[in-house]
């Protein structure tokens, strides 16, 4: 699940774009500039006479006009973003980090505040590539490390972003294509980073054991420059959707194939993935969250959050999914669950949808119940 269970240390801001180069080549550290503390304004209030008791019989003043980025929907957390990739909720349950796919920016968002850029990575945001997903280090509250799945001019790769440093390659050489570059990250445990890679529009590459395309990979070490070859957990992945973990129960993944969209499950104890649900209408499965045998999946073409209930023992899904926020926010892509149980989702309407004046957005909603139907 895209959340951290402990109180988090304050984030520090990245001031300059980080430069990525092809393969595992050396980075030019002269282009970086350090993280700097976020200013904390001091109060300049002076002493004033005691205010008179207000007249509560008078009607309240009318609200002022909405600004161009003001959204009256109370579930909307952030507005006027560029097309989003993945997102993660921070442990205070009141804020999140969201990736802008095409710009390479990582923004901190919270209700009633302007988004704040905390990092930027150079990416190739053409086609469906760019800054595609982000994950917090398992020890984020101590090290403030982020991991990102990005498209560069030559490949797709996983990088680590540290305060005051340029991104470092953890896993490079993932094939890049004209499409099918989507990828996802999730920590299955503090010692296992799961990486879902797209097939780059080439199903043959997804079936090729010598290619990193179209695979679910497991990294047991994720230090730049010293990581061993990844373990292939599953092959034959289409265009990658999302990854999520129900701790101690299963890892879930979604992908989009030419024939159907799929939800697959890998038991926590290991084994081969099993397809537990398919969508013949191909609604565009994206990010997912999982909790207590309920899996919620963002849908882009389907323009909803859908939820499925899995059998606790077998993982089988037998009831039709429930739909939440149908046609309310447009194309949903990223998904993350907060410590308080709310699901946060990000939209991608500016590239493929019908954007509203406040798109793209981050919204939050209650974790839906699986199966049946929902408003």
Residue 190 contacts residue 134 (beta carbons within 8 Å) = no
> Could you give the domains of the chain?
75-366 (2.120.10.30)
For residue 184, which of 253, 95, 273, 268 has the smallest C-alpha distance? 253
pLDDT tens figures, 102-151: 999 999 999 999 999 999 999 999 999 999 999 999 999 999 999 999 99
Residue 42's CB is within 10 A of a number of other CB atoms, namely 6
Q: How far apart are CA 75 and CA 70, in angstroms?
A: 12
Q: How far apart are CA 1 and CA 89, in angstroms?
A: 9
Cα separation of the two ends of the chain = 24
The β-bridge relationship of strands 274-279 and 261-267 is antiparallel
Dig out the tokens for 210 from the structure: 């010598």
Average pLDDT rounded to a whole number, residues 69-98? 95
| Mean confidence (pLDDT) of the chain | 84
Q: Half-sphere exposure of residue 324, counting CA atoms within 13 Å on the CB side?
A: 23
Torsional class of 325: left (φ above 0), alpha (ψ -120 to 50), beta (otherwise): left
Q: How far apart are CA 246 and CA 182, in angstroms?
A: 22
For residue 272, which of 251, 243, 295 has the smallest C-alpha distance? 251
**Highest mean pLDDT, choosing among 43-47, 54-58, 325-329:** 325-329
pLDDT bin (cut points 50, 70, 90) of residue 48 is: very low
**What was the pLDDT predicted at 272?**
87
pLDDT beyond 60 at 57: no
**What was the pLDDT predicted at 58?**
54
Residue 301 contacts residue 284 (beta carbons within 8 Å) = yes
**What was the pLDDT predicted at 373?**
39
Q: pLDDT over 70 for what percent of the chain? A: 81
For residue 118, which of 109, 126, 128, 130 has the smallest C-alpha distance? 109
Q: 144: Cβ–Cβ under 8 A, 6 or more apart, which residues?
A: 9, 11, 12, 137, 162, 163
For residue 325, which of 308, 307, 344, 304 has the smallest C-alpha distance? 304
Residue with tokens 């161009």: 68
Q: How far apart are CA 112 and CA 78, in angstroms?
A: 8
pLDDT tens figures, 266-303: 998 888 899 999 999 999 999 999 998 899 999 999 99
Q: How far apart are CA 87 and CA 84, in angstroms?
A: 8
pLDDT bin (cut points 50, 70, 90) of residue 158 is: very high
C-alpha 61: how far from chain center: 40
**What was the pLDDT predicted at 315?**
87
**Is the pTM here over 0.85, yes or no?**
no
**What was the pLDDT predicted at 371?**
61
Q: pLDDT over 90 for what percent of the chain? A: 69
**What was the pLDDT predicted at 258?**
95
Torsional class of 293: left (φ above 0), alpha (ψ -120 to 50), beta (otherwise): left
Q: 302: Cβ–Cβ under 8 A, 6 or more apart, which residues?
A: 279, 281, 283, 284
DSSP 80-148: SPPSEEEEEE-TTSS-EEEEETTT-EEEEE-TTS--EEEEEB----STT-SEEEEEE-TTHHHH--EEE
């Amino acid at each position: 699940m895209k959340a951290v269970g402990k109180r988090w240390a304050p984030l520090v801001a990245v001031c300059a774009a980080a430069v990525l180069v092809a393969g595992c080549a050396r980075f030019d550290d002269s282009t970086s500039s350090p993280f700097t503390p976020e200013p904390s304004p001091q109060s300049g209030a002076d002493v004033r006479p005691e205010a008179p008791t207000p007249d509560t019989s008078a009607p309240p003043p009318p609200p002022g006009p909405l600004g161009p980025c003001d959204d009256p929907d109370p579930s909307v957390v952030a507005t006027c973003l560029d097309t989003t990739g993945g997102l993660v909720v921070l442990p205070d349950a009141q804020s999140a980090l969201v990736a802008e796919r095409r710009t390479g920016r990582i923004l901190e968002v919270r209700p009633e505040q302007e988004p704040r850029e905390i990092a930027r990575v150079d990416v190739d945001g053409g086609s469906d590539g760019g800054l595609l997903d982000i994950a917090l280090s398992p020890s984020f509250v101590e090290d403030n490390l982020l991991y990102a799945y990005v498209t560069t001019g030559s490949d797709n790769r996983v990088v680590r972003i540290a305060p005051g440093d340029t991104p470092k390659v953890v896993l490079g050489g993932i094939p890049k294509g004209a499409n099918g570059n989507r990828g996802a990250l999730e920590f299955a445990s503090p010692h296992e980073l799961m990486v879902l890679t797209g097939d780059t529009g080439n199903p043959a590459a997804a079936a090729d054991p010598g290619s990193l395309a179209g695979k679910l990979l497991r990294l047991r070490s994720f230090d730049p420059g010293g990581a061993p070859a990844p373990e292939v957990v599953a092959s034959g992945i289409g265009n990658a959707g999302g990854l999520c973990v129900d701790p101690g129960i299963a890892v879930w993944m979604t992908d989009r194939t030419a024939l159907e969209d799929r939800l697959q499950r890998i038991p926590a104890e290991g084994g081969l993935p099993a397809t537990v649900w398919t969508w013949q209408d191909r609604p565009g499965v994206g990010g997912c969250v999982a909790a207590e045998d309920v899996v919620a999946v963002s849908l882009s073409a389907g323009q909803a959050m859908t939820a499925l209930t899995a059998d606790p023992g077998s993982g089988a899904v037998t009831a039709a999914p429930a739909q939440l926020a149908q046609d309310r926010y447009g194309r949903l892509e990223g998904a993350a669950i907060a410590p308080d149980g709310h699901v946060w989702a990000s939209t991608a309407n500016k590239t493929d949808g019908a954007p509203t004046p406040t798109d793209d957005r981050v919204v939050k909603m209650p974790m839906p119940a699986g199966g049946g139907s929902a408003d």
